[in-house]
Amino acid sequence: MKNTDPVFFVNSFADDYFGGNPAAVVILDDYPEDSRMLGLAREFGFSETAFLKKLGPGHYNIRWFTPEVEVSLCGHGTLAAAKALFATSESGRISFASLSGELAVSAKGEMLELDFPIEEPEPCPAPDELLKALGPDTPDETLCARRSRNLILVYPEHRQIAQMKPDFTRLASLEGFPWLGIAVTAPCPEGYICRYFAPWEGIPEDPVTGSAQTFLAPYWSARLGLRTLKGLQASERQGTFEAEVASGRVLIRGRALLWLRGGVDPGWRKVSG
């Protein structure tokens, strides 16, 4: 398509075309006003839209928008961006300049590998009203990842994660809540199970959250004594991944399926008036 901005729809951490976490990827010569990118992300309606600007060979600036806000780190959006670039113009390894520093994605057979910063969780209290909104079960531990502003709740059994039915209306109504999202997790064979809720960012439940593994993987690696872990995010769509803690980084591996490519009229970038 001539005179359009290239757009790709990709399912990240997906084992088939109807699973994983959908993301849109838009490739631009330059960024328009933030309000226009937020508006396009809202129009797509995915939990994340990644906007790319080329800086040099194999090097891009990346920004991520939910339908409500810009975020500083997004795993599945980065995986989707790399899949789109590998399918069109790049090979081997891609680096991204982001609000969270330099990130890299490498092709590893059928998988793509994210090289992300690590974030060590620390003990942190959780409000009673928040725990009640998540359901009747009580977590064994409450932790937080302060840099990314995430609360982490650790439960003893994987079935508690799979069966959890949060009251999202009640969660979204909580005032003065200092966190952007909640990760709930429990051990399972060879690794861990998790889910991620972020109603304050316009995402009641994220299908698969790559960025959450920057703090979940180091926690479970230390607790289980495993360097490489298998992960399952037990959302309705579900998604699988591998996470490896190495040299102060987290390597997150997963599959990505590109299922639509096209273009959007460049008029979306212009502010009306």
β-strands 150-154, 181-188: how paired?
parallel
Q: Could you give the domains of the chain?
A: 5-117+255-267 (3.10.310.10), 122-248 (3.10.310.10)
Q: In a structure prediction context, what are the per-residue pLDDT tens digits for the chain, which is 273 residues long? A: 568 999 999 999 998 889 999 999 999 999 999 999 999 999 999 999 999 999 999 999 999 999 999 999 999 999 999 999 999 988 899 999 999 999 999 998 889 999 999 999 999 999 999 999 999 999 999 999 999 999 999 999 999 999 999 999 999 888 788 888 999 999 998 899 999 999 888 889 999 999 999 999 999 999 999 999 999 999 999 999 999 999 889 999 999 999 999 999 999 999 876
| C-alpha atoms less than 13 angstroms from C-alpha of 52 in its C-beta half-sphere | 26
Answer yes or no: are the C-beta atoms of 256 and 79 closer than 8 Å.
Answer: yes
Name every residue whose Cβ is closer than 8 Å to that of residue 257 and which is 6 or more positions away in sequence. 10, 11, 14, 16, 17, 20, 83
CA angle 256, 68, 203 (to 5 degrees): 55
Question: Given 3-state DSSP classes, what are the helix, strand and coil percentages for the chain, each rounded to the nearest 5?
Answer: 20, 40, 35
**Which H or E element spans position 166?**
none
Which member of 43, 48, 110, 236 is catalytic? Answer: 48
32, 102 Cβ separation under 8 angstroms: no
Residue 141 is among the residues annotated as catalytic for this protein: no
Which tokens sit at 14?
């997906």
- CA–CA distances in Å: residue 266 to residues 97, 182, 258: 24, 36, 22
